[in-house]
Amino acid sequence: MQCSTSYSRVSTDLVHCRATWPAGQRRAVSHNARAIIGRSVVRSDATAVKERPRPGEKKGFVEEMRMAAMRLHTRDQAPKDGSRPEEKPEDQPVRQWTPSRAGYLRFLAESKAVYDTLEQIVEAAPKSEYAKFRNTGLERSAPLARDIQWLQKTYDLPSPEVSADGPGAEYASALKQLAADDPAAFICHFYNFYFAHTAGGRMIGRKVAEVILDNKTLDFYQWDGEVKDKLAAVKDKINELAETWTREQKDHCLEETNKSFQHSGAILRTITASEE
């Protein structure tokens, strides 16, 4: 409306000014003014209607989430899409890590604290839309409990301590708050935590097992049935939920990706903790 009003004023001024000009010049100015005003209004309308699509948007919102996550990977972690430089200990290639059994046991315990919370939130469904993510087949609390018990018994390790100020408890507390107050942000964390451990997480588990677990494949990295089918079903549910969001809510969800990586990275670093 501001654009149209402005150009109407310009048109009126031209009409008044041309009254003192010769007839031929008046006709030319009038024609040119109408052409300029018409083009400007059309251009203004097109800019308002056509908005540049976000990366991955045409394939569904989960693709937008995936691309946001990939931008936070290093080239070693994601050869095709990674673009972030190595800055932190967990950014180093896994082959360069020096894992410990005590550290890995703590990593499993800290991870379980987060999965316990995610599964409790989904079960309680403080927001009704969370209920659709129950019983997806991706749940990890029970497998992690078995792995923790196996690791303790096999290598005679003490029970891992998950302190209130540790990375697992801190993340769990943040998730509870987001689940109650910020559903779009919560879904970002839900997606990134579950999906990370079906991809890069499995690779890390395999490499660590080669070094300290005699190639043992933990239950944490095994699913009943095809995990790709379970992932596809969850992707469909997230895409369906995102269809009810505004563009602002979607962008807010994507902006939360960096925080999800910060929390996950803090947990991942426990793998290289020293033996006690």
pLDDT tens-digit map of 26-42: 454 444 544 444 544 44
**Which segment of 56-70, 145-159, 179-193 scores lowest on mean pLDDT?**
56-70
Q: Name, in order, each residue with C-beta under 8 angstroms of 123's C-beta and a sequence gap of 6 or more.
A: 134
- For the segment 38-57, the average pLDDT, to the nearest whole number, is 55
| Contact by Cβ (8 Å): 125, 72 | no
pLDDT at 250 over 90: yes
- For the segment 237-266, the average pLDDT, to the nearest whole number, is 97
- For the segment 140-165, the average pLDDT, to the nearest whole number, is 96
Give residue 53's pLDDT.
72
Give residue 43's pLDDT.
44
Look at phi and psi of residue 225 and say left if phi exceeds 0, alpha if psi is from -120 to 50, else beta: left
Short-list 118, 274, 133, 264, CA closest to 201: 264
Q: What is the pTM of this model?
A: 0.77
pLDDT at 63 over 90: yes
pLDDT at 268 over 90: yes
User: Which residue bears the tokens 């020293």?
Assistant: 274
Q: Name, in order, each residue with C-beta under 8 angstroms of 10's C-beta and a sequence gap of 6 or more.
A: 33, 37
pLDDT at 66 over 70: yes
Question: pLDDT averaged over the chain?
Answer: 82
| Contact by Cβ (8 Å): 168, 176 | no
Q: Would you state the torsion angle of the CA atoms of residues 72, 198, 90, 148, taken in this order, to the nearest 10 degrees?
A: 150
- For the segment 243-251, the average pLDDT, to the nearest whole number, is 97
3 state SS of 180: helix
pLDDT at 88 over 80: no
**Phi and psi, residue 35, nearest 5°:** -65, -45
- For residue 114, name the pLDDT band (cuts at 50, 70, 90): very high
- For the segment 248-270, the average pLDDT, to the nearest whole number, is 96
Q: Name, in order, each residue with C-beta under 8 angstroms of 203's C-beta and a sequence gap of 6 or more.
A: 94
pLDDT tens-digit map of 167-214: 999 999 999 999 999 999 999 999 999 999 998 899 999 999 999 999
- For residue 81, name the pLDDT band (cuts at 50, 70, 90): low
Give residue 39's pLDDT.
45
- For residue 150, name the pLDDT band (cuts at 50, 70, 90): very high
- For the segment 105-119, the average pLDDT, to the nearest whole number, is 98
pLDDT tens-digit map of 11-28: 444 344 444 445 555 454
